[in-house]
Amino acid sequence: MIENLYGVRAGARGVAQAAVRACRGPGRERDLVVQSLKAAGAATLAWAVSGWWLRDPVALMAPWVAVVLVQATVFRSLFKGLQQLVAIAVGTLLAAGAEALTGNTLASVALVLPVVMLLSNWPRLGDQGIYGPTTALFTLTSGPVSSLTVSHRLLQALLGAAIGIAVNALIFPPVHLRDIRENLSGLARGAEDALACMAERLSEEDWSEETAADWRRLSNRLQQRQESLRSARLWSHESLRLNPRLPWRGRRKLPPVPDESEDQRWGSIVTQIGGITNTMIDIADENRTIPSPDHQALGDYGRLLCALAAACRARADLICLPSAPDNEETHTRLDEALDSVERRHDALHKQLCDQRSVSAATTAVLGTLLIQAQNIWHDIAPETWPRATAGA
């Protein structure tokens, strides 16, 4: 009971915080509010036209279709609208044909539902295919089936689609450019946090299998953020298509977004962090035969990861805050972090080359970890990589 109460309080707190963020300025919360109000307005307008003005006997179809077609992009509204109209038309016509053939509602439902359920899985209809079976049920169970009600149902669906698409296209048509920067920033900050967390525990020489499991959770969260970034990039490209808010000349005035090469950069860094995590988990697993490196070597490696985390932070600032007034200071921080990375990398490399100072176990395992750190270094600043090869 108490846990449920805490859950309700946490949910209410989250809603309140989202409302505050929506009032403060542009963001995902405000976008959600705008889209919700647009969907409600489109449904209300469709009902006013079909139910109040035209007094159509199947007026429900218009607001039902309109509210669904206020999608996250104008292109998606048009595309989903076509899919939904096809599904509705198929469901309506098949239901009317079954009713004319059998003359019995129960027999018509039993005859038509298997067919339209199979058709609803047709890939060309996407997630709109389900409207075929639901429309068939409404057609058969909501009143007498006749050519008049069938034609009215199709016309009302067309009216609702037109209103939903028009509202979405003409009233604050959505443009999803800000999501790219937000998701890329979250991915970069997450990579920095993961490296800093591993560096802290390795430097303290206080880590175990549970600690490695925590690192695994951080790595999995990074992969989820990477998927969110991919999704945001797709939404951004799609929101620019068929958008009347953005004529070709107006697109030049859009705020710049990070280049897609940054997605590849941080995606590669996430992959290397996952590799380091896997190696650490193998080292910590008592059931594996992988030997653990010397504590001193792992501590030095932790300090290398700390320097890489600082370089990630500076690189993220350059990407996510490109017009910040302290841009020169950020470049300086990046150079200092990379200098620290180079020094610590060269020191570890010399240890590995000196067989007298490290054990064979350290040479084998730490060599793998060092290669993964090198790859992160290369992804953060490939222009500095020749210094690393020269130092090696």
Q: What is the pLDDT of residues 238-290, one digit of tens each?
A: 777 777 766 544 555 566 778 888 899 999 999 999 999 998 888 877 776 66
Q: What is the pLDDT of residue 144?
A: 83
Instruction: Compute the distance between CA of residue 93 and CA of residue 381 in angstroms, rounded to an integer.
Output: 61
**CB within 8 Å of 325: residues ≥ 6 apart:** none
CA distance from start to end of the chain: 62
Give residue for tokens 């698409």. Answer: 165
Check if the beta carbon of residue 364 is closer than 8 Å to that of residue 292.
no
Using alpha carbons, select from 385, 373, 381 the residue that is nearest to residue 275.
373
Check if the beta carbon of residue 377 is closer than 8 Å to that of residue 385.
yes
Q: Say how many C-beta atoms besides its own lie within 10 A of residue 276's C-beta.
A: 22
Q: What amino acid is encoded at 67 in this protein?
A: V
- CA torsion angle for 15, 21, 27, 28 (degrees, to 10)? 0
The ranges of the chain with pLDDT < 50 are 6, 22, 25, 248-249, 325, 386-392
Given phi > 0 = left and psi -120 to 50 = alpha, else beta, which region is 389?
A: alpha
**CB within 8 Å of 357: residues ≥ 6 apart:** 351
Q: What is the pLDDT of residue 390?
A: 40
Q: What is the pLDDT of residue 6?
A: 47
Using alpha carbons, select from 328, 334, 369, 332 the residue that is nearest to residue 349.
369
Instruction: Compute the distance between CA of residue 209 and CA of residue 280 in angstroms, rounded to an integer.
Output: 9
Check if the beta carbon of residue 114 is closer than 8 Å to that of residue 70.
no
**CB within 8 Å of 39: residues ≥ 6 apart:** 66, 67, 70, 164
Instruction: Compute the distance between CA of residue 356 and CA of residue 353 in angstroms, rounded to an integer.
Output: 9
Instruction: Compute the distance between CA of residue 330 and CA of residue 315 in angstroms, rounded to an integer.
Output: 8
pLDDT digits (tens, 9 = 90+) for 179-229: 788 888 889 999 999 999 999 888 776 667 788 888 889 999 999 999 988
Model pTM score: 0.69
The angle formed by the CA atoms of residues 168, 35 and 251, to the nearest 5 degrees, is 60
